[in-house]
Amino acid sequence: MADCIFCRIAAGDIPCREVHADTDFVAFRDLNPQAPVHFLVIPRRHVAALTDLTGADADLVGRLQVTAAQVAAKLGLAETGYRFVINCGRDACQTVPHLHLHVLGGRALGWPPG
């Protein structure tokens, strides 16, 4: 989608600090990091939000999480741990309407989240 910022990042039209790229997913550092390590994993295919997923997307979402875990390990987070976050919609503060998985680590994270 031409007007989607994450589609444009996936297409290479907007620069990012990439940490992983393959046929289906791109991972890059968050512009506004909330932890010493904070990256996003997105599917190249445009999906606006969790609410748009169907059963046909189960494999995509599973591989999204496996990819995120592998990148987290590559960045040294496997031993100390990390958190996955997917914000969906207004109440969860989703600001970019392209499905993205936040991976946060590198410090002790508080719980419950705000």
Q: Which is nearer to ligand DGP, 55 or 114 (CB)?
A: 114
Compute and round to an integer the Cα radius of gyration of the chain.
14
Q: Which two tokens stand for residue 32?
A: 């506004």
- The residues, any chain, with a CB within 8 Å of residue 45's CB and separated by 6 or more, are 24, 60
Q: Is 28 in the site for ligand DGP (CB under 6 A)?
A: yes
Say how far apart CA 43 and CA 60 lie, in whole Å. 8
Q: Which is nearer to ligand DGP, 55 or 97 (CB)?
A: 97
* Binder among 48, 96, 106, 109 for ligand DGP (CB under 6 A): 96
* Binder among 31, 58, 66, 78 for ligand DGP (CB under 6 A): 31
Say how far apart CA 33 and CA 35 lie, in whole Å. 6
Return the bridge partners of 84, or none: 103
Q: Which is nearer to ligand DGP, 60 or 85 (CB)?
A: 85
Binding site for ligand DGP (CB under 6 A): 5, 14, 16, 28-32, 40, 87, 93-96
Active site amino acids: 100
